[in-house]
Structure 1
Amino acid sequence: MSPEEFRRHAHNFVDWMADYMESVEQYPVRAQTAPGDIAATIPDAPPEEGEGMERIFADFKSDVIPGITHWQHPRFFAYFPANSSPPSVLAEMLTATLGAQCMLWQTSPAATEMETKVLDWLRQMTGLPEGLTGVIQDSASGAILCALLTAREKATGWQANEKGLGTQPTLTVYTSNQTHSATEKNVKIIGLGRENLRLIDVDENFSMRPDLLEAQIEADIAAGCIPACVVASIGATGVGAVDPLRAIGEICERHKIFLHVDAAWAGTAWLLPEQRWMLDGIEYADSLVFNPHKWMLTNFDCSAHFVKDPDALIRTLSILPEFLKSREQGQIIDYRDWSVPLGRRFRALKLWMVIRSYGADGLRKIVRHHIELAAELEAWIAAEPDFEIVAPRSLALINFRYRPEGMPESEDLDRLNGTLLQRINDDGRIYLTQNKVRGRAAIRFSIGQTNTERRHVAEGWDVVKEIARDLHR
């Protein structure tokens, strides 16, 4: 493809992209295809000869778009948001054009130095303490993996990487029973074994109970285990649970246990001074993570991982073969030592563009607006006699269920809510996700898409009521 052909096609693509952003709410939120529908449009064998971009793009629109769930739809209320914004999309276009592999300072100095600066901007914007150093990971799951690996090495006196876990006592990891499944998965990945993950029970607000945490730690020490890490949650996936960092941190300090804080979704709320109560005790954290790619208008993937002791992270992950050596070592940061993959994209560029385009105040206004919308929705749900809120609202996340008057707590009620959720998502006007709260079926309503307005939330709630009452007639 010549530069002129590229220019012509790129203009067509950008026109389509702008139209998509303008009209995305005309699509059904969740893809309405059946398994195999999209695969059936793709030939079984690759083409022998190249095809024209006009035809390829036409197939994209006719064959691919019907199979897309529209995460940027303003009535996307499922999971947590994976936000985008025009400045972030423009940055991704530049990143793709540059095609830089930013594993070393030398392979793209701008990428490394911008990442260092922009992560410190983020630290300041969210009220995190000085002394934390940031790095961009691909996801909160990747950051948890790095934290657990570092904790494993510290707990074994840096011997697990050298001699393997077979030479060490049993290491244990602690988190609440509300935490994201990434912690359990990563405990398996690093070789500690799922049986050595301790799920600590929670209180009436779904927060980890420090008394039970300490009791379990002491029991494990008495049994000859080495407690290696506690993973505390700020805004856990199910109900948005917030663990008490100060009490947990004091326990970790007493027992010399690595503390990681997973705030993948809720950390963006720290932009708001009134939400920084969640940070009480953050000074005890050895590392923490939150995702600008969730609620800060920055395209996936962009996960902000902050560490108190970068040298410990580097010591855990660094390997220096001959081909990665450079004359600048000792003077610069090579971020390939800060994460599991060697290869790194220029992810700082989109965060830099988003922060500069919206400013800290503009981002604060959007996040605050989402929380206000959720508070209004909470009041609407509470006012309906045949619906109930099943967990305290957490920022912009609500868990509720349909409970027709006189219907007792039962498996039939769970099935009714499961059917309701399926009907809502099959309808296509909104998209919600399921949950279980204290063992009973619930429906999550998460507000946070970049362009969601009050009317979208009101329309979404009307859809829920309409389908629920049709279902139970």
Structure 2
Amino acid sequence: MPDQDPSAIPEFDLRRDGYAAVDWAANYLEKARELPVMAQVSPGDIASALPERMPETAEPFSDVLADLDRVILPGITHWQHPRFFSYFATTSSEPAILAEMLAATLNQVSFIWRASPASTELETVTMSWLADLLGLDPAWHGHIEDTASTSTLAALVAARHASGRHAVVFSEHAHSSVEKDARILGMQPRPMPTDEAFRMRTAAVAEQLARGDVAAVVSTAGTTSSASFDPTPELAELCARHGAWLHVDAAYAGSAWACPELRDSQAGVAEADSLVVNPHKWLLVPMDCSALFTRRPAALREAFTIVPEYLRTTDEAANLSDYGPALGRRFRSLKLWAAMRCFGRAGIQEFIRRSVGLAHEFAGWVEADPRWELVHVSLSLACFRFNGTDEENLAIVERVNRGGQIFITHTRLSGRIVLRLAVGYLHTTREDVQLAWSVLNG
């Protein structure tokens, strides 16, 4: 055994380094607007700038911060940028950032209640707050997973376990994680065609359910490409008739239900078996935080509960690991709790309304310009295209993203390339959206 060297384990000054880290974070958020939104690097640039091996001896944390600026920051695509208009609305906030640091400090591993009573019970309370904010049934069970991919996976596991069936039905515009989850579980994925409004056709679903082998139907409330809404009420009736599990994917749009006037897409959700909403998209918390609600918690518990001897206790309390795939669970509720407290219902509603308003104002500019076509607008997402070829539209996406002033994505709707602009960052202003319109027309 080598000789021991106590000096090899360094001591750190958490206050000194912590203040420096918080200063770095505050400075970053203040200057993000000045940075190119999409990382302007090529594949391999970051890796080649890093040593091949870790250091043999300890380095100070100040060196880590220095390399964060020198090496890492050039390779960051800035999701915390006011002109990040790609994918879906996603934003963190100052209270949640600080809470994430505190969660890492406490480093809870809440697999059973005894391992972290506070994490378990705060999660239960926070999910109750979230259900109230979104206008959901307070009797539903709720817990937090990492992402909607995992929340949907948990729902499909429960559906398969409860039904003994192996097919999963979903829209051709559903998030790719639905098909991926079905593949992981060895279930049969069956994408369904959509109508002119990009909603899953109920007649096609009915045909599948009549076969008697469908374990679950996934209804999307806010599809990835266009934020369209599947006909959940009709799907709920069909699933009830045929004994299939109905899972609603409202990972993006569910946050909008914080505003009572934006709850039209909630129709039928009360009859669903499970529902996922991602607070890390539009409710001001950083990745990862995915809320899974169910009115059939016993089905999830039956599918997931395995209690080895070393986890058996006499505590009469719920263990949240019994309701999902993971045993070890992070203290994710702390950041959601902090954001909900520090913004309040009114602050969250104002932020969502502002995001929706900006997207619709942008859509109005598109609709008024004969050079452009407005394809679809829903909540804080506008889908549009230049009146030209698919190649011209793809060239616009590449041009504006390489320019660094904005970052958008594209999709394909009705066989055509369509551009997407999604509003959802906390500090995005009307001037940012106006700049995006100017850059697109540049």
Q: TM-score, normalised by structure 1?
A: 0.90
Please give the secondary structure, in 1, of the residue aligned with 2:349. Answer: helix
SS at 1:197's partner residue?
strand
Q: Which residue of 2 aligns with 1:70?
A: 78
Residue pairs, 1:40-79, within 5 angstroms: 40-79=48-87
Note if 1:312 corresponds to 2:299.
Answer: yes
After superposition, give the CA deviation of every residue in 1:422-458 in whole Å (9 maximum; x if it has no partner).
1111110000011001111111100001111111111
The alpha carbon displacement at 1:383 in A equals 1.1
3-state SS, counterpart of residue 202 of structure 1: coil
CA distance in 2, matches of 1:283, 1:366: 26
Instruction: Write out aligned runs for 1:462-473 (5 A).
Output: 462-466=438-442
Displacement, 1:301? 0.5
CA–CA distance in 2 between the matches of 1:119 and 1:310? 14
Alignment partner of 1:346: what SS? coil
Does 2:398 match 1:422?
A: yes
Structural RMSD (CA): 1.1
Q: CA deviation at 1:52?
A: 2.1
SS in 1 for 2:425: coil
2:208 pairs with 1:216:
yes
Gaps of 5+ in 2: 1-9
Cα deviation code 1:240-283 (max 9, x no counterpart):
11011111100011111100000000000000111111111112
User: Structure 2 residue aligned with 1:284, among 271, 275, 293?
Assistant: 271
Instruction: Deviation per CA, 1:158-205: give whole Å up to 9, x if none.
Output: xxxxxxxxxxxx62211111100111001101111xxx3222211221
Does structure 2 retain, via aligned residues, the 8 Å contact 1:71–1:81?
A: no
Within 5 Å, give how 1:235-274 maps onto structure 2: 235-274=222-261
Partner of 2:430: 454
Q: Does 1:174 align with 2:169?
A: yes
Find the aligned partners of 2:310 and 2:385 in 1 and give their Cα distance.
57
What residue in structure 2 maps to residue 159 of structure 1?
Answer: none
SS in 2 for 1:366: helix
Compute the displacement of 1:402 (Å): 1.1
- Report the counterpart of residue 218 of structure 2 in structure 1: 231
Q: Distance in 2 between matches of 1:242 and 1:12?
A: 45
Query: How does 1:128-143 map onto structure 2 within 5 Å?
Result: 128-143=136-151
Alignment partner of 1:201 out of 160, 180, 193:
193
Question: Among 381, 392, 396, which residue is 1:397 paired with?
Answer: 381
Q: Residue type of the partner of 2:90?
A: A
TM-score of the superposition, structure 2-length normalised? 0.96
1:190 aligns with 2:177: no
Displacement, 1:102? Answer: 1.3
What's 1:101 paired with?
Answer: 109
Q: Does 1:155 align with 2:163?
A: yes
1:2 CA displacement? 3.6
- C-alpha separation in 2, matches of 1:120 and 1:151: 24
SS of residue paired to 1:393: strand
Q: CA separation in 2, counterparts of 1:375 and 1:398?
A: 7
**Equivalent in the alignment of 1:369:** 354
- Residue 377 of structure 1 aligns with an amino acid whose one-letter code is F
Q: Give matches, 1:78-117, under 5 Å.
A: 78-117=86-125
The match for 2:335 is 350
Q: Secondary structure at the match of 1:378?
A: helix
- Identical residues among aligned pairs (%): 41
Misfit runs of 4+, over 4 Å: none
Distance in 2 separating the partners of 1:266 and 1:73: 21
The one-letter amino acid of 1:234's match is A
Give 1:349 shift: 0.4
The number of equivalent residue pairs is 433
Where in structure 1 are there 5+ consecutive unaligned residues? Answer: 157-169, 408-412, 467-473
Partner of residue 441 from structure 1, selected from 390, 393, 417: 417
Paired position in structure 1 for 2:313: 326
Q: C-alpha distance in 2, partners of 1:173/1:59?
A: 46
Once residues 215 and 188 of structure 1 are traced to their aligned partners in structure 2, the CA distance between those partners, rounded to angstroms, is: 22
